[in-house]
């Protein structure tokens, strides 16, 4: 029996496929019940009291984190037309300020477009989405969420005066596109289950009640989205399930016209569309192209019968997406777990790869605002190299370093080393890990280690740089990322082998990574911490049940731990479209039994679990607060041993946690303090655990890669 608030048991029997499960805390789903709020507040009070002895450590960690960050900073200005756009931060302010200058990156007076600190005044949470400037650069559309529920109030600002217009549209979702008339905006709305399913049209200066419903998607498996082409000549309506796509298009010059379909949906066929001159470019998996290929079709007849191959399918290379310029196509590719950039001349089809300085690295697109340009701006980083922005001349094949993110306090990258390791899974598959540590770590099993994992939705958790992480590395920690199946790090097959009835591979891969770190002397079970969030929190709960002795502590953030009950409930947000990721346990007894076999909440038993810190967001629309709340209750009730089980609930935020940067750093200091305390590392001083001796040399240094995913529903990608 473990200490902590104890909620009353009110058993509810849940029946499906002839099987019954008893849920003692099902009633915690009723957020209107005052006893629910009282329980969550009691959990916060208990967690605060349980970690009160670490408050000085938390403060020191927070000070360390902030001391490395250039608090007053500015992004590299990006040009569009006569304006140069950038964002800046100011010391002491939580949120960024969006700005622009006219005529040059440092020319003329600064024009403030949007100061998010002003929007956040008087609120504990503030998130901005859909901030898009009209084609003539005169108006700014932006959405504001003040509670973390991800339903945005859409507003419009006259950039000449800085004043907001009277126009305001409530209850909107992610996704917005301007038409060419600079007066018409397309936006999306979610249904009661938080699925974006409607496309609406608003005309500036007219009441929101007069807005026109343009399209409604009634198939609950599909998300609806909207975007503008990079050429700004078309508006795209996007309809996507987990395995099927459909795209509609509308000339931006005809905002009141009708959308036309590129290619009607076919189950299992995915495609994405961009506009290029007289053609549409289509990235697709059609005809068995598992890792996708690039096709071209005329705008006048874009259907599948007109598709002509531009870049064929390559089994060893995953084509993630394409950035289109007037004269160039930029292909973002993934091979051997590393994301790279291939530049293709549109006219000739000749291509080249942008070579990078480290064998494994992280690249991602930055602000490429102009369609007619020979310059690609990209971001490069690794686990030892801070975020670096380059301009690359695609014609001359030369690059210019624009900015490397400062790390204050004398950061010396030569004092840190990063390697790629491989673990052997139960079925013989080789699972990559990316590892970073401070030189001097000795592989005798004594080092503390944090192992992070995710493994869902084809989301790649690539190794990127973090100045915050230095607070662990300087205390002798080894930091490892487990690139388990279910993610996208190794191509589409990697994802397919970690979903549906192959989902257990995600969990056994992670355990294999933990065992490899121990057997190779990097750490020991009592010194190993596992961390994951959302769908990665499901991973945490599953591996705790499978191998509780493999870890000394677990951090499970907004964890999807009651997955079977949630995926059975068609009334909950996002459930139906999730069936193509997890399976449909409503219709299939096989899926039901398979999910039940790994569901963390359903498999809590009399095991000696590691210390646990779980988090939740009261307004979370993706993983409801009651999942971690119920899980914590059951762990305390059933588990053997006496190590703590703690729950920290954000009562004014949602899935992503605190919105302000100082709040986020303070939250990370709290997590680090829990980790250090759980491993018995009592001092707040850096450089604990680093020993003298020759550093370990490896032939395959690992760096990092930037990953992006639009398909992460129950997850935030860590």
Burial of 367 from C-beta contacts in 10 A (0-12 / 13-18 / 19+) = middle
What confidence score (pLDDT) does residue 698 get?
Answer: 25
Cα–Cα distance measured from residue 238 to residue 176, given in angstroms and rounded to the nearest whole number: 12
Structure tokens at 148: 């973390």
Do residues 64 and 90 touch, judged by C-beta distance below 8 A? no
Q: 284 CB contacts (<8 Å, ≥6 apart)?
A: 269, 270, 271, 272, 292, 293, 295, 307
Phi and psi dihedrals of 645, rounded to 5? -125, 110
Local structure of residue 212 (DSSP, 8 states): E
Q: 655 an active-site residue?
A: yes
**Which of 422, 361, 351 has its CA nearest to residue 386?**
361
- The DSSP bridge partners found for residue 342 are 331, 353
Q: Looking at residues 654-674, what average pLDDT do you find?
A: 95
**Which of 460, 497, 537, 512 has its CA nearest to residue 714?**
537
Do residues 416 and 430 touch, judged by C-beta distance below 8 A? no
For the stretch 465-482, pLDDT in tens is 999 999 999 999 999 999
DSSP E strand boundaries for 42-195: 73-74, 78-80, 83-89, 97-102, 111-115, 127-133, 139-145, 152-158, 163-172, 176-178, 184-190
Cα–Cα distance measured from residue 211 to residue 364, given in angstroms and rounded to the nearest whole number: 36
- Domain range list for the chain: 12-50+417-678, 338-409
Catalytic residue among 275, 313, 459, 655: 655
Q: Looking at residues 661-670, what average pLDDT do you find?
A: 96
* Half-sphere exposure of residue 177: CA atoms within 13 angstroms, side-chain side: 27
To which residue do tokens 């208990």 refer? 46
H, E, C per residue of 439-501: CCCCCCCCCCEEEEECCCCCCCCCCCCCCCCHHHHCCCCEEEEECCECECCCCHHHHHCCCHH
Cα–Cα distance measured from residue 203 to residue 225, given in angstroms and rounded to the nearest whole number: 19
Cα–Cα distance measured from residue 593 to residue 477, given in angstroms and rounded to the nearest whole number: 39
Q: Looking at residues 195-221, what average pLDDT do you find?
A: 97
Q: What percent of the chain has pLDDT over 70?
A: 95
Q: 183 CB contacts (<8 Å, ≥6 apart)?
A: 203, 204, 205
Q: 534 an active-site residue?
A: yes
pLDDT band at 706 (very low <50, low <70, confident <90, very high): very low
What confidence score (pLDDT) does residue 187 get?
Answer: 98
Give the strand pairing for 78-80 and 73-74: unpaired
What's CA 458's distance to the chain center, in Å?
11
How many residues can be counted in the chain?
A: 718
For the stretch 507-566, pLDDT in tens is 999 999 999 999 999 999 999 999 999 999 999 999 999 999 999 999 999 999 999 999
For the stretch 122-175, pLDDT in tens is 999 999 999 999 999 999 999 999 999 999 999 999 999 999 999 999 999 999
Whole-prediction pTM value? Answer: 0.93
What confidence score (pLDDT) does residue 108 get?
Answer: 87
**Which of 633, 616, 566 has its CA nearest to residue 596?**
566
Cα–Cα distance measured from residue 157 to residue 163, given in angstroms and rounded to the nearest whole number: 6
**Which of 63, 76, 92 has its CA nearest to residue 660?**
92
For the stretch 174-198, pLDDT in tens is 999 999 999 999 999 999 989 999 9
What confidence score (pLDDT) does residue 683 get?
Answer: 60
Structure tokens at 14: 């849940």
Catalytic residue among 366, 497, 602, 620: 620
Element (H, E) at 526: none
What is the strand order of the sheet 245-251 is part of?
A: 223-228, 234-240, 245-251, 260-261
Cα–Cα distance measured from residue 703 to residue 387, given in angstroms and rounded to the nearest whole number: 12
Element (H, E) at 581: helix 575-582
Q: Cα angle vertex 422, ends 701, 460, to 5°?
A: 80
Q: 27 CB contacts (<8 Å, ≥6 apart)?
A: 10, 12, 33, 36
Phi and psi dihedrals of 412, rounded to 5? -120, 105
**Which of 201, 183, 199, 202 has its CA nearest to residue 191?**
199
Structure tokens at 449: 């280690």
For the stretch 570-606, pLDDT in tens is 887 778 889 999 999 999 999 999 999 999 999 999 9
Do residues 718 and 397 touch, judged by C-beta distance below 8 A? no
**Taking the CB of residue 312, how many other CB atoms lie within 10 A of it?**
10
Answer yes or no: is pLDDT of 695 > 50.
no
Cα–Cα distance measured from residue 283 to residue 331, given in angstroms and rounded to the nearest whole number: 10
Calculate helix-pair angle for 55-67, 661-678, nearest 10 degrees: 130
DSSP E strand boundaries for 105-216: 111-115, 127-133, 139-145, 152-158, 163-172, 176-178, 184-190, 196-203, 212-216
- The DSSP bridge partners found for residue 152 are 172
Q: Which SS3 state, helix, strand or coil, does residue 2 take?
A: coil
For the stretch 11-23, pLDDT in tens is 999 999 999 999 9
DSSP E strand boundaries for 159-302: 163-172, 176-178, 184-190, 196-203, 212-216, 223-228, 234-240, 245-251, 260-261, 271-276, 279-284, 293-298
For the stretch 358-394, pLDDT in tens is 887 899 999 999 999 999 999 999 999 999 999 999 9
**Which of 354, 307, 290, 289 has its CA nearest to residue 328?**
354
Cα–Cα distance measured from residue 263 to residue 211, given in angstroms and rounded to the nearest whole number: 28
Do residues 224 and 259 touch, judged by C-beta distance below 8 A? no
pLDDT band at 712 (very low <50, low <70, confident <90, very high): very low
Q: 620 an active-site residue?
A: yes
**Which of 218, 189, 213 has its CA nearest to residue 200?**
213
Looking at CATH, the fold of the domain delimited by 12-50+417-678 is given as Rossmann fold (3.40.50)
pLDDT band at 641 (very low <50, low <70, confident <90, very high): confident
Answer yes or no: is pLDDT of 711 > 50.
no
For the stretch 88-123, pLDDT in tens is 999 999 999 999 999 899 888 999 999 999 999 999
Catalytic residue among 534, 624, 659, 704: 534
Do residues 467 and 69 touch, judged by C-beta distance below 8 A? yes
What confidence score (pLDDT) does residue 702 get?
Answer: 22
Cα–Cα distance measured from residue 207 to residue 191, given in angstroms and rounded to the nearest whole number: 21
């Amino acid at each position: 029996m473990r200490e902590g608030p104890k909620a009353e048991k009110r058993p509810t029997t849940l029946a499906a496929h002839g099987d019954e499960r008893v849920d003692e805390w099902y009633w915690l789903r009723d957020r209107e019940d005052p006893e629910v709020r009282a329980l969550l507040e009691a959990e916060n009070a208990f967690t605060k009291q349980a970690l009160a002895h670490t408050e000085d450590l938390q403060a020191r960690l927070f000070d360390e984190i902030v001391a490395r960050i250039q608090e007053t900073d500015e992004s590299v200005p990006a040009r569009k037309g006569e304006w140069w756009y950038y964002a800046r931060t100011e010391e002491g302010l939580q949120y960024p300020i969006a700005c622009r200058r006219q005529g040059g990156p440092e020319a003329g007076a600064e024009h403030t477009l949007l100061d998010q600190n002003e929007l956040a005044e008087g609120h504990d949470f503030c998130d901005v989405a859909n901030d898009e400037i009209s084609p003539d650069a005169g108006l700014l559309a932006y959405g504001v969420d003040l509670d973390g529920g991800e339903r945005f109030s859409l507003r419009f600002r006259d950039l000449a005066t800085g004043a907001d217009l009277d126009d305001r549209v409530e209850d909107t979702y992610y996704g917005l596109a301007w038409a060419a008339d600079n007066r018409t905006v397309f936006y999306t709305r979610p249904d009661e289950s938080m699925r974006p399913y409607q496309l609406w049209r608003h005309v500036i200066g007219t009441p929101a009640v007069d807005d026109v419903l343009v399209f409604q998607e009634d198939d609950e498996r599909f998300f609806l989205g909207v975007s503008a082409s990079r050429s700004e000549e078309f508006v795209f309506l996007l309809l996507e399930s987990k395995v099927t796509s459909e795209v509609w298009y509308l000339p931006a010059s005809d905002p009141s016209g009708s959308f036309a379909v590129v290619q009607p949906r076919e189950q299992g066929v995915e495609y994405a569309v961009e506009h290029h001159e007289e053609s549409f470019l289509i990235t697709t998996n059609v005809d068995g192209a598992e890792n996708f290929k690039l096709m071209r079709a005329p705008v006048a007849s874009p259907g599948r019968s007109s598709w002509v191959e531009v870049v064929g399918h390559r089994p060893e290379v995953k084509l993630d997406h394409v950035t289109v310029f007037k004269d160039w196509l930029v292909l973002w590719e993934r091979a051997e777990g590393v994301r790279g950039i291939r530049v293709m001349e549109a006219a000739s089809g000749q291509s080249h790869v942008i070579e990078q300085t480290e064998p494994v690295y992280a690249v991602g697109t930055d602000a490429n605002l102009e369609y007619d340009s020979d310059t690609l701006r990209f971001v490069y980083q690794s686990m030892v190299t801070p975020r670096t922005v380059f301009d690359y001349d695609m014609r001359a094949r030369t690059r210019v370093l624009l900015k490397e993110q400062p790390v204050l306090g004398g950061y010396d990258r030569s004092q840190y080393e990063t390697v790629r390791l491989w673990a052997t899974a139960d079925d013989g598959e080789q699972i990559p890990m990316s590892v970073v540590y401070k030189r001097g770590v000795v592989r005798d099993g004594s080092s503390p280690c944090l192992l992070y994992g995710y493994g869902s939705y084809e989301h790649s958790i690539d190794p990127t740089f973090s100045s915050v992480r230095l607070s662990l590395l300087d205390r002798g920690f080894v930091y490892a990322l487990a690139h388990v199946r279910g993610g996208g790090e190794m191509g589409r097959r990697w994802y397919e082998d970690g979903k549906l009835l192959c989902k257990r591979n995600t969990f056994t891969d992670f355990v294999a990574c933990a065992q490899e770190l121990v057997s190779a002397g990097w750490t020991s079970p009592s010194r190993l911490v596992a961390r994951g969030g959302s769908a990665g929190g499901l991973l945490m709960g599953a591996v705790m049940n499978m191998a509780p002795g493999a870890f000394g502590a677990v951090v499970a953030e907004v964890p999807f731990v009651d997955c079977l009950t949630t995926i059975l409930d068609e009334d909950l947000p996002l459930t139906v479209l999730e069936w193509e990721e997890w399976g449909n346990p409503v219709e299939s007894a096989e899926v039901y039994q398979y999910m039940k076999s790994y569901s963390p909440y359903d498999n809590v038993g009399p095991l000696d679990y590691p210390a646990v810190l779980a988090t939740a967001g009261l307004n979370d629309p993706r993983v409801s607060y009651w999942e971690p709340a119920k899980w914590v209750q059951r762990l305390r009730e059933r588990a053997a041993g006496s190590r703590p089980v703690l729950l920290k609930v954000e009562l004014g935020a949602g899935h992503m946690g605190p919105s302000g940067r100082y709040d986020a750093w303070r939250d990370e200091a709290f997590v680090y303090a829990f980790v250090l305390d759980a491993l018995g590392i009592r001092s707040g001083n850096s450089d604990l655990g680093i020993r003298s001796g020759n550093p370990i040399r490896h032939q395959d240094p690992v760096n990092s890669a930037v990953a992006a995913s639009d398909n992460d529903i129950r997850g935030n990608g860590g």
